[in-house]
């Protein structure tokens, strides 16, 4: 039997939990689909679904098989991409996801660098947040991504984690603009523009937690997936935003004293990375270090502590 | 600096301030050349002169100094608050005089160094507006005479009366240990640049000022683990001073001199204490933002 095709049928039924819908998705009639699932069950010697007249449910064995089956199907689907370009057929393709906050200069360095190093490989970039990338990596529609941490999803592999410490963007007229560095607590009472939680759940939650720990509870949070929208809110003095140094007329960027926010990012892929994914990931790490000023997580120098008698040990 | 004036005003004090970049020309000044009462801040030039005399071989910093039980200068900290006879080296007395503003320790050091020695130091450094005219014991004796109080407790109670406070010669710069904010930051700058004495002596002065325990004035403006604050407070009825140096991890160092007089005679005014640090922070942030 063609076990991969049978597994693809199993995955479709497991995701739809309806034989008719799964058959429609696969573009086949329902009876042969049911037959394939039964043959897979007899081949493996287990029942994968509990079928009642009303509904279809995965058995424990089915639940166990599903991620493995997805992986196998996706890998087989990727085989043509992997081999393309080696035998003179079509060009190999790498589908790469990058979050929108990376910045044009860094993106340019990444895309141009990859094209220069791998002229035979077609790079298909897509702007997407971490949550969308994780979904796309898992279902095989994305080969490699650049994600913001924390991401706690089984089945993904990650490159080295890099960290950057964002500063704050203020309207030029903000009273804090005359200070060389801003403390999070100084922002108290202000409104905050932040990437939407749906797009960057880990970064969103960690950023807000750090703000609260340091005495900044935003009066209101404006979710902004779009850089222009965020900039508009800052320019108008409505809200402040966190991010890398940026020179935009009408706004000022100031570092946050003590670097209380740490935004962590890494490359990500599913399963064993192929050569093109490895190449893209290595380039991405290099570009983030050199062009985005990110440093290795844990390589950030230990915070200096200047001892004071009143706040030291046993005082 | 409107923001600094606002800090002083909302804390209920009048303030005189000078903040200067130790390694550059940047400064923030607010009444920086006005004569101010030093109170215990005079212990800084005293500490420096102690080390200069040691540099010249005039005294031994490790020499033991006996302090009998009955002859303590009034004060709430250190030897002034202790009951029994002790013997301590000059340099350990200097530690107590700076770390907890111990008045007995300060007078013992001054007895060895001499008031003329301290003023000669000030002349050498070109600090003409800074003078030391009496030790802690004489300063207290003057306040007791001015108010008619019998002891420290009675003096504290008498000073709750603004009319009584107004009589204190110790609060008139011309009649007590005095300086200007600008001369104090010049002195600190010379200590931090190793120009005021031998490098080892300057380092010893810096070390002791870094060991001062009080967190409520200058240090309160810099609640950052990686910022070092060294200082010396000065306190008398309505007077809350501190001079010191604030050092940032990027190497920036700023000499600070803040002198305040509160409108109220209340002794416990945490906001007035914190205003010293808040004003210094605003001034230093200004210097760091406008390099």
Domains of chain B: 2-288 (3.40.710.10)
Judged by a CB distance cut-off of 8 A, whether residue B214 touches chain A is yes
pTM, full prediction: 0.60
Q: What is the pLDDT of residue B291?
A: 47
CA B150, chain centre distance (Å)? 26
Q: d(Cα A138, Cα A150) in Å, to the nearest integer?
A: 17
Say yes or no for a CB contact (<8 Å) between B99 and A178. no
Confidence of residue A204 (pLDDT cuts 50, 70, 90): very high
CA A16, chain centre distance (Å)? 25
Residue B255's contacts (CB-CB under 8 Å, 6 or more residues apart) are B18, B19, B20, B22, B184, B185, B186, B188, B189, B192, B243, B244, B245
The shortest CB-CB distance from A309 to any of B211, B225, B226 is to: B211
Contacts of A315 in chain B (CB under 8 A): 213
Residue A53's contacts (CB-CB under 8 Å, 6 or more residues apart) are none
Residue corresponding to tokens 């990500």: A268
Under DSSP, the state recorded for B179 is: E
Size of interface A-B (CB pairs under 8 A): 43
Contacts of A305 in chain B (CB under 8 A): 225-226
Q: d(Cα A5, Cα B271) in Å, to the nearest integer?
A: 76
Give the minimum alpha-carbon distance from B257 to chain A in angstroms, rounded to a whole number.
19
| The two three-digit tokens of residue B210, written as one number | 């870094």
Q: What is the pLDDT of residue A82?
A: 64
Query: What HEC string does chain A produce?
Result: CCHHHHHHHHHHHHHHCCHHHHHHHHCCCHHHHHHHHHHHHHHHCCCCEEECCCCEEECHHHHHHHHHHHHHHHHHHHHHHHHCCCCCCCCEEEEEEECHHHCHHHHHHHHHHHHHHCCCEEEEEEECCHHHHHHHHHCCCCCEEEEECCCCCCCEEECCCEEECCEEEEECCCHHHHCCCECHHHHCCCCEEECCCCCCHHHHHHHHHHHHHCCCCCCCEEECCCHHHHHHHHHCCCCEEEECCCCCCCEEEECECCCCCCEEEEEEEECCCCHHHHHHHHHHHHHHHHCCCCEECCCCCCCCCCCCHHHCCCC
Say yes or no for a CB contact (<8 Å) between B224 and A308. no
Say yes or no for a CB contact (<8 Å) between B225 and A179. no
Under DSSP, the state recorded for B38 is: -
The shortest CB-CB distance from A308 to any of B229, B285, B288 is to: B229
Judged by a CB distance cut-off of 8 A, whether residue B163 touches chain A is no
Confidence of residue A209 (pLDDT cuts 50, 70, 90): confident
Q: What is the pLDDT of residue A153?
A: 78
Say yes or no for a CB contact (<8 Å) between A180 and B285. yes
Judged by a CB distance cut-off of 8 A, whether residue B83 touches chain A is no
pLDDT < 70 positions in chain B: 289-291
Contacts of B225 in chain A (CB under 8 A): 258, 303-306
Judged by DSSP in three states, B251 sits in: coil
Would the ipTM clear 0.90, i.e. be above it? no
Judged by a CB distance cut-off of 8 A, whether residue B215 touches chain A is yes
Q: d(Cα B283, Cα B274) in Å, to the nearest integer?
A: 14
Contacts of B215 in chain A (CB under 8 A): 308, 310-311
For every residue of B42-103, DSSP letters joined together read GHHHHHHHHHHHHHTTSS-TT-EEEE-TT-PPP-SSGGGG--S-EEEEHHHHHHHHHHS--H
The shortest CB-CB distance from A178 to any of B219, B249, B286 is to: B286
pLDDT, tens digit, 9 for 90 and up, residues A220-274: 999 998 888 999 999 999 999 999 888 889 999 999 988 889 999 999 998 888 8
Q: What is the pLDDT of residue A47?
A: 93
Judged by DSSP in three states, B204 sits in: helix
Say yes or no for a CB contact (<8 Å) between A304 and B211. no
Confidence of residue A213 (pLDDT cuts 50, 70, 90): low
Beta bridge partners of A164: A263
Contacts of A303 in chain B (CB under 8 A): 225-226
Q: What is the pLDDT of residue A65?
A: 93
| The two three-digit tokens of residue A133, written as one number | 């990338």
Q: List, in order of start, the domains of chain A with CATH numbers.
A: 3-77 (1.10.10.10), 81-162+263-296 (3.40.190.10), 166-254 (3.40.190.10)
pLDDT top residue among A302 and B171: B171
The answer to which of A126-140, A271-285, A294-308, B240-254 has the lowest mean pLDDT is A294-308
pLDDT, average across residues A285-313:
77
Judged by a CB distance cut-off of 8 A, whether residue A305 touches chain B is yes
Helix A19-26, helix A3-16: angle, nearest 10: 130
- CA-closest candidate to residue B105, choices B43, B51, B63, B155: B43
CA A128, chain centre distance (Å)? 8
Q: What is the pLDDT of residue A185?
A: 83
Q: d(Cα A293, Cα A284) in Å, to the nearest integer?
A: 12
Judged by a CB distance cut-off of 8 A, whether residue A259 touches chain B is no
Interior/surface letters B17-34, b for 16+ CB within 10 angstroms, e for the rest: bbbbbbeeebbbbbbbee
Say yes or no for a CB contact (<8 Å) between B213 and A315. yes
Judged by a CB distance cut-off of 8 A, whether residue B278 touches chain A is no
Beta bridge partners of B27: B20
Which residue is closest to A312 within chain B, CA to CA?
B213
Give the minimum alpha-carbon distance from B224 to chain A in angstroms, rounded to a whole number.
8
R_g of chain B computed on alpha carbons? 18
> Mean pLDDT across chain A, nearest whole number?
87
Judged by a CB distance cut-off of 8 A, whether residue A310 touches chain B is yes
The shortest CB-CB distance from A306 to any of B226, B285, B288 is to: B226
Peptide bond into B216 cis (omega under 30): no
Q: What is the pLDDT of residue A86?
A: 56
- Residue count of chain B, please give it: 291
Confidence of residue A302 (pLDDT cuts 50, 70, 90): low
Contacts of A257 in chain B (CB under 8 A): 224
Alpha-carbon distances, residue B101 vs A65, A307, B98 (angstroms): 75, 19, 5
Judged by a CB distance cut-off of 8 A, whether residue A312 touches chain B is no
- CA-closest candidate to residue B105, choices B36, B185, B208, B255: B208
Judged by a CB distance cut-off of 8 A, whether residue B229 touches chain A is yes
Look at the alpha carbons of B99, B104, B107, B109 in this order and tell me if their dihedral is positive or negative: negative
What are the DSSP E strand ranges found in B78-207?
86-89, 178-179
Say yes or no for a CB contact (<8 Å) between B225 and A303. yes
Contacts of A178 in chain B (CB under 8 A): 285-286, 289
């Amino acid at each position: 039997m063609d076990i991969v095709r049978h597994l693809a049928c199993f995955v479709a039924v497991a995701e739809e939990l309806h034989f008719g819908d799964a058959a429609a998705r696969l573009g086949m009639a329902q009876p042969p689909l049911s037959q394939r699932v039964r043959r897979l069950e007899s081949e493996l010697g287990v029942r994968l679904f509990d079928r009642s007249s009303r509904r279809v449910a995965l058995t424990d064995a089915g639940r166990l098989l599903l991620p493995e089956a997805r992986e196998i199907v996706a890998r087989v689907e990727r085989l043509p991409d992997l081999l393309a370009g080696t035998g003179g057929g079509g060009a190999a393709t790498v589908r790469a996801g990058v979050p929108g906050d990376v910045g044009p200069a860094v993106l340019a360095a990444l895309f141009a660098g990859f094209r220069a190093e791998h002229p035979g490989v077609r790079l298909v970039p897509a702007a997407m947040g971490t949550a969308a990338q994780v979904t796309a990596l898992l279902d095989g529609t994305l080969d490699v991504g650049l994600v913001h941490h924390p991401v706690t999803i089984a089945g993904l592999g990650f490159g080295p984690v890099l960290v950057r410490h964002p500063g704050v963007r203020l309207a030029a007229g903000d009273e804090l603009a005359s200070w060389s560095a801003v403390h999070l607590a100084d922002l108290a009472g202000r409104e905050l523009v932040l990437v939407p939680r749906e797009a960057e759940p880990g970064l969103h939650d960690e950023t807000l937690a750090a703000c609260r720990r340091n005495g900044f509870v935003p009066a209101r949070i404006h979710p902004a997936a779009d850089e222009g929208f965020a900039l508009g809110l800052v320019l108008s003095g409505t809200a402040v935003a966190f991010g890398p140094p940026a020179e935009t007329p009408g706004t000022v960027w100031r570092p946050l004293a003590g670097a209380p926010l740490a935004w962590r990012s890494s490359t990500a892929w599913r399963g064993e990375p192929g050569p093109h994914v490895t190449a893209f990931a290595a380039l991405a790490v290099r570009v983030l270090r050199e062009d985005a000023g990110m440093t290795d997580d844990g390589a950030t120098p230990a915070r200096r502590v200047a001892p004071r008698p009143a706040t030291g040990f046993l005082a | 600096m409107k923001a600094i004036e606002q800090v002083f005003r909302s804390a209920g004090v009048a303030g005189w301030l000078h903040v200067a970049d130790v390694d550059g020309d940047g400064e923030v000044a607010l009444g920086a050349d006005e004569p101010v009462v030093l109170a215990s801040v005079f212990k800084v030039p005293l500490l420096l002169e102690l080390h200069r005399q040691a540099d010249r071989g005039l005294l031994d910093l490790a020499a033991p100094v006996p302090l009998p039980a009955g002859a303590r200068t009034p004060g709430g900290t250190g030897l002034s608050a202790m009951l029994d006879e002790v013997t301590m080296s000059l340099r350990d007395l200097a530690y107590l005089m700076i770390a907890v503003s111990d008045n007995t320790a300060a007078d013992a050091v001054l007895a060895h160094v001499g008031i003329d020695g301290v003023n000669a130091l000030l002349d050498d450094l070109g600090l003409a507006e800074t003078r030391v005219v009496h030790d802690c014991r004489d300063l207290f004796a003057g306040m007791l005479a001015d108010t008619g109080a019998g002891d420290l407790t009675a003096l504290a109670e008498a000073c709750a009366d603004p009319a009584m406070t107004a009589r204190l010669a110790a609060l008139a710069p011309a009649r007590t240990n005095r300086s200007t904010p600008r001369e104090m930051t010049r002195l600190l700058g010379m200590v931090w640049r190793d120009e005021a004495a031998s490098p080892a002596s300057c380092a010893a002065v810096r070390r002791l000022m870094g060991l001062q325990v009080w967190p409520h004035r200058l240090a309160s403006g810099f609640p950052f683990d990686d910022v070092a604050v060294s200082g010396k407070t000065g306190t008398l009825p309505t007077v809350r001073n501190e001079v010191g140096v604030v050092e940032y991890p990027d190497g920036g160092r700023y000499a600070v001199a803040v002198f305040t007089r509160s409108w109220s005679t209340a002794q416990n005014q945490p906001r007035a204490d914190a205003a010293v640090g808040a004003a210094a922070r605003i001034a230093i942030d200004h210097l760091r933002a406008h390099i």
